[in-house]
Amino acid sequence: MSLISEYRAHTEERARLGIPPLPLTAEQAAQLIALLKENPIKEQEYLFDLFVNHISPGVDDAALEKASFLDAIIRGEATCAAIDAVEAVRILGTMLGGYNVKPMIDALAHSDKAVAEAAVLALKKTLLVYDSFDTVVDLAKSNSYAKEVLESWANAEWFTSKPTLAEKMTLTVFKVPGETNTDDLSPASEAFTRSDIPMHALSMLGSKMDDPIGTIASLKEKGNPLAYVGDVVGTGSSRKSGINSVQWHLGNDIPAVPNKRTGGVVIGGIVAPIFFNTAEDSGALPIQADVTSLEMGDVIDVYPFKGTIEKNGEVISNFSLAPNTLADEVRA
């Protein structure tokens, strides 16, 4: 079975469960790259989407295949009808950090001005460069593009270019009464699926309430993002898979990062400190506030900077963002 037919069958199988396909393995990525080297490319739009959006970034083995191919295109050692050198740099810029960093830095010295400028734009928003920072510093002594990247990092343009936390958020309440521990959110009995976030998230709250996944789907039909609300939220162990599941159902997709989400709002009468910190580190907005007036399905307005929660125009709860850097952390 070819990669295309195999992955389509896998996609259909997962769709029946309501979840996206797994990211490509290194072997599948290599097969995909071989198809992208053909001219003409069969099913170019589909294969391009797989290449850009269905390979995990960072230091995943498949990311090495992806970054190496893009590097070869930039160097003129490989060709692809769907990806020229400038586009290759742009795609590298979506890969967060890891194997993409060196090819982007190398591209700063490319003979084609458009490629070098694309590398500047990509690197300005790439923070996970680690020791390669020193390479950029050295290059900046003789390369204006590298100097521009350093100045951008110094001015935190990666941060200031992002939208600020909204002053008002209209949300639909998904409330779990009583205490929710991390085993409710990430059952130990399903530990073998934790690396597969969408699959593992199907087990969230399965022993706590009737049809939680169906309830979430119904509430989303109101058209608002959901807020996870509970009396006591996140007690127990520090497992990150708990917030992964919450964010899968309530958060936002991350461009070019398959099967993982960020953002989301968690409101608890009490939010366990470890869970609060994990949510905070994962890009969610955790709020500790009185939730006694919040019920499943309520539509509420949350004003993060005023520190109020309103329902039907009336203030029903007050809170303070803590720590005082929380709004910036969510923005970042």
Q: How far apart, in whole angstroms, are the C-alpha atoms of residue 35 and residue 37?
A: 5
CA 236, 238, 239, 243 torsion: positive or negative? positive
Tell me the CATH number at 249.
3.20.19.10
* Domain termination residue (choose one: 160, 191, 208): 160
- Residues, the chain, total? 332
Query: Does residue 190 sit in the same domain as residue 152?
Result: no
Query: Does residue 152 sit in the same domain as residue 192?
Result: no
End-to-end alpha-carbon separation of the chain, Å?
43
Query: Does residue 311 sit in the same domain as residue 186?
Result: yes
201 CA to centre of own chain: 15
Q: Which residues contact 133 (CB under 8 A, 6 or more apart)?
A: none
Give the structural domain span for 80. Answer: 3-160
Q: Which residues contact 93 (CB under 8 A, 6 or more apart)?
A: 100, 104, 118, 121, 122, 123, 125, 126
Grade residue 296 by pLDDT with cuts at 50, 70 and 90: very high
pLDDT of res. 89? 99
Query: Does residue 87 sit in the same domain as residue 151?
Result: yes
Query: Does residue 197 sit in the same domain as residue 140?
Result: no
Q: 1 pLDDT exceeds 70?
A: no
Query: Does residue 230 sit in the same domain as residue 249?
Result: yes
Q: How far apart, in whole angstroms, are the C-alpha atoms of residue 122 and residue 120?
A: 5
Number of separate domains in the chain: 2
Which one-letter amino acid corresponds to residue 162?
K
SS3 204: coil
Query: Does residue 137 sit in the same domain as residue 190?
Result: no
Query: Does residue 234 sit in the same domain as residue 270?
Result: yes
Share of the chain above pLDDT 90, in %: 99
Q: 192 pLDDT exceeds 90?
A: yes
pLDDT average, residue stretch 61-80: 98
Tell me the CATH number at 85.
1.25.40.310
Q: pLDDT tens across 30-48, in order?
A: 999 999 999 999 999 999 9
Cβ pair 249, 226 in contact under 8 A: yes
pLDDT of res. 238? 76
SS3 178: strand
Which one-letter amino acid corresponds to residue 70?
L
From residue 152, give the alpha-carbon distance in Å to each of 8, 100, 126, 186: 41, 19, 11, 40
Q: 187 pLDDT exceeds 70?
A: yes
* Domain termination residue (choose one: 160, 184, 216): 160
Q: 210 pLDDT exceeds 90?
A: yes
* Domain termination residue (choose one: 160, 189, 208): 160
Cβ pair 255, 199 in contact under 8 A: no
Q: How far apart, in whole angstroms, are the C-alpha atoms of residue 242 and residue 187?
A: 9
Query: Does residue 211 sit in the same domain as residue 146?
Result: no
Q: Give phi and psi for 37, each to the nearest 5.
A: -80, -15
Query: Does residue 114 sit in the same domain as residue 34?
Result: yes
Q: How far apart, in whole angstroms, are the C-alpha atoms of residue 286 and residue 229?
A: 10
Query: Does residue 29 sit in the same domain as residue 107?
Result: yes
Q: 20 pLDDT exceeds 80?
A: yes
Cβ pair 238, 278 in contact under 8 A: yes
Query: Does residue 86 sit in the same domain as residue 119?
Result: yes
